[in-house]
Structure 1
Amino acid sequence: MAQPGGVNRAELADFLRRGRARLTPPDVGLTPGARRRTPGLRREEVAQLAGMSVDYYTRLEQCRGPRPSRQMLTALARALRLTADERDHLFHLIGEEPPRRETASTHVSPGLMLILDRLDDTSAQVVTDCGEVLAQNAMARALTLDVMSRPRRERNLARMYFLDPGARVLFPEEDRADHARAHVANLRAVTAARPDDPAPAALVAELRAGSAEFARLWEEHQVSLRHKATKRFLHPLVGLLDLDCEVLLSHEHRQLLIIHTARPGTESHERLRLLRVVGLQDMSPQATPPRRTG
């Protein structure tokens, strides 16, 4: 029975416990470790994946936590690899209306998350066709820094590129104009493909008003969706990296899995291996301000 405020705390606690028990560390890209007495994931592992404190998550499982925000529910759904139906159920348990299942969904499917988790030596992230970052693996955070630690409104790649001066620092200066054109051309294509969706049009209006460069490029009417390319990153820890960018499309939800790899035997490959060592030492949002993105 729902508690005051619409939260069914007992059902919520049971649903979280069962969701945690059915997963194993390898399912979510974690190392199992030794002496595991608990079936499935530990509470601290779920908290880590959801970006919340262990105490907060523990209280939710003990029927005494505060009412979770919608943002926190979304983070829990991703951490527990919930399907869209299970995510909707999670929202209902606290008396919230689930997010609408629009054409451009912001819910990353468990299958796509599984692929993301398994790419432990490759930078990979899931973005919408409009450029909003939905999930990153550890290597993506090491390469482009932790976009997911930003408020949701600030996770869009085009918005960051044109409105946040720090977002361009990771690219060589001579490459930045091409990146700008690519962002604009992608938004042109997406806006035309989804005329009834207000989100792309609102983003374009915001960028035209806030960036003279975007407004100028928009008038050129270039159209091009994200696709395979070669990108150069000027990383502050390991230097210049020439990386192949592969883009895999999930047609059902209009989501993209963007993967950056280096060709074996190249200097960039060695630098990417070094980044895996030095860049993953401390990836907490508190320790690494989210200033750059790829």
Structure 2
Amino acid sequence: MEGMDREQLAEFLKSRRARVRPADAGLPDGGRRRTPGLRREEVARLAGISVDYYARLEQGRGPRPSRQVLASLARALRLFDDERSYLFQVAGEQPGPPAGPSGVVSAGIRHLLERLDDTPAFVIDAKYELLAWNRMAVRLMGDPDAHGRNMIWNLFCGPWPLDDDSPPEAQAFAAECVADLRAASVRYPDDAGIRSLIARLRAASPEFVRRWEEHRVCVRRTTLKTLQHPVFGELVLECQVLQADEQGQRVVFYTAAPGSPTASVLCGLREAVVA
């Protein structure tokens, strides 16, 4: 790699800092701000470095940051993968694997969930951990905190685990989830949360082990899902999956064909939420 370009590094850090809202980084607003984005001391705290060191980097007079510091800055500034690569390159380093999946849901995504009062929607990370959801999702699926937030763990080790008698659609969904988790384990090889989940599943579920050893790799997108609701019975839902950011978050929407029985159920759930 070529040497460090202090001027480009300084300008890039300043521009990215101005883009990040405090709420997106999990910080309180802290009242009126003279300039948009995070303060220098907030970036330094999020990255685990001193304010003086970060200030010198923005001023183009700091020492060459280590790979660990660059990775911490990329997380603090919520950089996309291409921005993270650029950060490493202007600092004279070869980009490593992308940062692990983020657990902070942006304020914009949370606002979107709240506005969807007729559509069950939720956010998951790369290991299928539920990070946020709206009231329609609770009405449809119940309180996530009541039965655990990890969807893959619930699928294989929850109260009603997958087995040979599960319907074909559930079997296909499980295969997709396991293949998706394998893809995440390759994309984020150093993420402790993903490694821990896989180890727990391998220890607890022979069914997971069987599917894991098939070595399938895919990323889940739009699919149909049949849900057995305790009150309304069988519901046929169209599961739409959208990428929320480049750190492994996805927004999942459940919709139904217009005029279908499931659409009528969702309409009734919306009226209960709005009431």
Query: What's the TM-score once normalised by structure 2's chain length?
Result: 0.62
Identify which of 127, 131, 135 aligns with 2:128: 131
Deviations 1:186-234 (A, max 9, x none): 1111001111212212211110110000001111111111211111111
Deviations 1:169-196 (A, max 9, x none): 9xx7342211221221111110011112
Q: For the Cα contact (< 8 Å) 1:116–1:136, is it kept in 2?
A: yes
CA distance in 2, matches of 1:258, 1:205: 26
Q: For the Cα contact (< 8 Å) 2:120–2:254, is it kept in 1?
A: yes
Which ranges of structure 1 fall in alignment gaps of 5 or more residues?
1-80, 90-96, 283-294
RMSD value, Cα: 2.9
Identify which of 144, 159, 163 aligns with 1:165: 159
Identify which of 133, 139, 142 aligns with 1:142: 139
Whether 2:184 is the aligned partner of 1:243: answer no
Alignment of 1:1-294 (within 5 A): 82-84=23-25, 86-87=27-28, 101=75, 103-149=100-146, 154-166=148-160, 173-277=167-271, 280=273
Deviations 1:32-90 (A, max 9, x none): xxxxxxxxxxxxxxxxxxxxxxxxxxxxxxxxxxxxxxxxxxxxxxxxx923162598x
Amino acid at match of 2:101: A
SS in 2 for 1:86: coil
Deviations 1:226-272 (A, max 9, x none): 21111111111112111111111023332100000012112221122
Which ranges of structure 2 fall in alignment gaps of 5 or more residues?
1-21, 31-44, 48-71, 76-98
CA distance in 2, matches of 1:103, 1:238: 39
Amino acid at match of 1:227: R
CA distance in 1, matches of 2:109, 2:267: 24
Amino acid at match of 1:144: M
Q: For the Cα contact (< 8 Å) 2:119–2:253, is it kept in 1?
A: yes
SS in 2 for 1:143: helix
* Percent of residue pairs bearing the same amino acid type: 37
The total of aligned residue pairs comes to: 190
SS in 2 for 1:166: coil
CA separation of 1:87/1:188 partners in 2, compared to 1, >3 Å: closer, same or farther? farther
Amino acid at match of 2:152: A
CA distance in 2, matches of 1:242, 1:264: 12
SS in 2 for 1:83: helix
Q: For the Cα contact (< 8 Å) 2:101–2:188, is it kept in 1?
A: no
Q: For the Cα contact (< 8 Å) 1:207–1:215, is it kept in 2?
A: yes
Amino acid at match of 2:176: A
CA distance in 2, matches of 1:281, 1:114: 16
Amino acid at match of 1:213: E
CA distance in 2, matches of 1:217, 1:189: 14
Q: For the Cα contact (< 8 Å) 2:23–2:29, is it kept in 1?
A: no
CA distance in 1, matches of 2:216, 2:258: 34
SS in 2 for 1:248: strand
Q: For the Cα contact (< 8 Å) 1:245–1:260, is it kept in 2?
A: yes
